[in-house]
Structure 1
Amino acid sequence: MPFLNKQSVTAALLALGVASMAGATEGGGTVYPLGVENFAAGAMPPPGLYGMVFGQHYHADTLKDGAGNTLPVPFELTANVVAPRVIWVTGQTVAGGNLAFHTIVPLVDLDVRVGPRRESRRGVGDITAGFSIGWHHSPYLHSLAGIDVFVPSGHYDKADLANIGRNTWAAEPVYILSRIDPAGLNADIKLGYVFNRTNGDTTFRSGQEFHFDYALGWGFGPHWTAGASGYVYRQTTDDRQAGTDLASGSGRAVAIGPSVKYDSGNGWFVTAKWQKEVAVRNRAAGSAVWLKAVFPL
């Protein structure tokens, strides 16, 4: 789900001659919007058509090298994203679970500044499409497994600072496990592994990436859940360019912050959270505010 990518960082670093200091995937980012999931992420609803809207405000003003030190580069990135998602839960069962399909179309407003140069871009980002199978193991325990495909539909120009697409296809198998208790422990984890294809304009192929989103909280009656959420990210293989491995260092990051969920009890719920990125290597570091609304159509 490519709400925000930091593709612009690559062009910025190349323009300033410090690309080798930053390393990591192309642009120092990823097709997946790290930290997007929250409470109840693994609980598939009954068959039907559902809508979701994700909102994100992300701001970063530092670039980190492989040792976690701040690079001496004047840098600022701000992204505001609204990403509608449509989910169709079919009546079909596969391996004992319900089959579902989904599509996400992110609308991105991106502003990037590096030194005296500044660019902005608005438009549709990279679209995500995928399928999943959901199981209800008990009233408290639920899980999902599926595959997402990231389509290079967003604007991209290798000479631009502000790109809202990554110009490459990618695929990601995912697995989500959720414990939901309106009067007790709530816990969620979403595991994903990203396989990137080559950017045809730059011959750059970003390395494979492992991540998990997490949420841990407590239910305070039928409506409210509160706790903490975030993500852990690690690049697992080297990047390649023109068929040659690049030993430029792998990206990594951890994020954490407060999270809250309100469930109306009438089929819709809303979550809100703030996350701060820490332990960042070879990437931009910042913070994000997330809003998520889920409702039947």
Structure 2
Amino acid sequence: MIKRSIGAQIISRAALGSVFSLLLVESAFAGEGASSDYLQGTYGDFQAAVWGDAGVYLRNDLAYYDADVGAHARGGKVSAKLDQQMWLNNLQLVWLSDTTLWGARIGSAVLVPYFANIKASGDLSTAQGTASASGDEQGIGDIYVSPLMLNWVNGEHNFTFAPALYIPTGKYDEDEALNAGRNYWALDVSGSYTWFDADAGHEFSMTTGVMFNDRNSDTDYKTGTEFHLDALAAQYLSESFGLGIVGYYYKQLDSDDGPLQGPVDASSIQAEGAGFGPAVIWNQAVGTRTLSVIGKAYFDTTSTDRFDGNLYMLSIAIDL
């Protein structure tokens, strides 16, 4: 029988609070800055809806994202190219309880993202000519808080409901080329499901959610409502080792709203993206505790009005 993984028992949610793109072009792509509080790879994980014993859990995610937005034209008047590389570290603390509410166990989670380094460079062409800019940034991003999580179990089926807030705690200055924060609140209403056959070592997990974004008061720009879906299929080869395939799909349900730099209509901006890649998990006993190490890679296969690139993530989790 395969044991449940401690790393998966910790909520795998992660915040991406950074505005990647340069001020020069930050309003020219869907999701202000061509990005979002949602980042592929941070919602999908092994046993996404499986909870461990009551207690406190610690997890750290280190991610590297190398992506670009290619030549982008709107009405033949605005075109841009943007390249960015990012090192992101997420530190999250999760509390799980045996207390029940509506037949579900309750818990809560908080995550603090730290951008160790963000570098970006880009070009913008308008009727007035072409300009280039580059920049780098580091600092704490927008903190993620899920004050009340609910978890139900029915045999091999696990369900978790975990609404969360992204709090605009990251540094933001509309006159700066790069920012660690997004300068608006966001509510993510999401849930996870895991089917886990411990005898055969089979698993299927998915997390889906809808994110509602507030308006950026400094730029008067509002990112459209966002839908996201992350999934994983895995096979455990032993009690301590498993392999899987991860994938994601993202789509804005409605368009952005707000003024743009250049003759671009925000109502025509609606992002979409998808990608997949490999995943691996290894569990190791450390005294009376269990240490989990999780590796994942995501390769974007399609991106519209959104960054396109490769993301690599290494996670370490342990029960305290």
The two structures share one fold, judged by TM-score above 0.5: yes
Further displaced range: 215-224 or 245-254: 245-254
Shift of 1:114: 1.5
Match of residue 281, structure 1, among 298, 304, 313: 304
Per the alignment, residue 114 of structure 1 pairs with 122
Instruction: Supply the distance in 1 between the matched residues of 2:284 and 2:90 (Cα, whole angstroms).
Output: 22
Shift of 1:156: 1.1
Per the alignment, residue 202 of structure 2 pairs with 185
Say whether the 8 Å CA contact 2:104–2:151 is kept in structure 1. Answer: yes
Instruction: Supply the distance in 2 between the matched residues of 1:230 and 1:81 (Cα, whole angstroms).
Output: 20
SS state of the match for residue 41, structure 1? Answer: coil
Shift of 1:127: 0.3
Match of residue 315, structure 2, among 288, 292, 295: 292
Per the alignment, residue 231 of structure 2 pairs with 214
Over 3 Å counting, the alpha-carbon distance change for 1:141 and 1:162 in structure 2 is same
Over 3 Å counting, the alpha-carbon distance change for 1:164 and 1:6 in structure 2 is closer
Over 3 Å counting, the alpha-carbon distance change for 1:6 and 1:51 in structure 2 is closer
**Which string of whole-angstrom CA distances, capped at 9 and with x for unpartnered residues, describes residues 81-102 of structure 1?**
1111001112321111111011
**Which string of whole-angstrom CA distances, capped at 9 and with x for unpartnered residues, describes residues 229-270 of structure 1?**
02100000121227xx93222100001011111123653322
Please tell me the residue identity of whatever aligns with 1:144: T
Instruction: Supply the distance in 1 between the matched residues of 2:96 and 2:209 (Cα, whole angstroms).
Output: 21
Instruction: Supply the distance in 1 between the matched residues of 2:90 and 2:79 (Cα, whole angstroms).
Output: 33
Instruction: Supply the distance in 2 between the matched residues of 1:99 and 1:65 (Cα, whole angstroms).
Output: 46
Percent of residue pairs bearing the same amino acid type: 23
Over 3 Å counting, the alpha-carbon distance change for 1:93 and 1:65 in structure 2 is farther
Residue 281 of structure 2 corresponds to residue 261 of structure 1: yes
- Higher CA-based Rg: 2
**Which structure 1 segments of 5+ residues have no match?**
none
Over 3 Å counting, the alpha-carbon distance change for 1:57 and 1:180 in structure 2 is same
Residue 176 of structure 2 corresponds to residue 160 of structure 1: yes
Per the alignment, residue 251 of structure 1 pairs with 271
Please tell me the residue identity of whatever aligns with 1:237: D
Residue 271 of structure 2 corresponds to residue 271 of structure 1: no
TM-score, scaled relative to structure 2? 0.83
TM-score, scaled relative to structure 1? 0.89
Per the alignment, residue 173 of structure 1 pairs with 189
Say whether the 8 Å CA contact 1:262–1:271 is kept in structure 2. Answer: yes
Please tell me the residue identity of whatever aligns with 2:279: S
SS state of the match for residue 24, structure 2? Answer: helix
Say whether the 8 Å CA contact 1:63–1:283 is kept in structure 2. Answer: no
Shift of 1:66: 8.8
Per the alignment, residue 100 of structure 2 pairs with 93
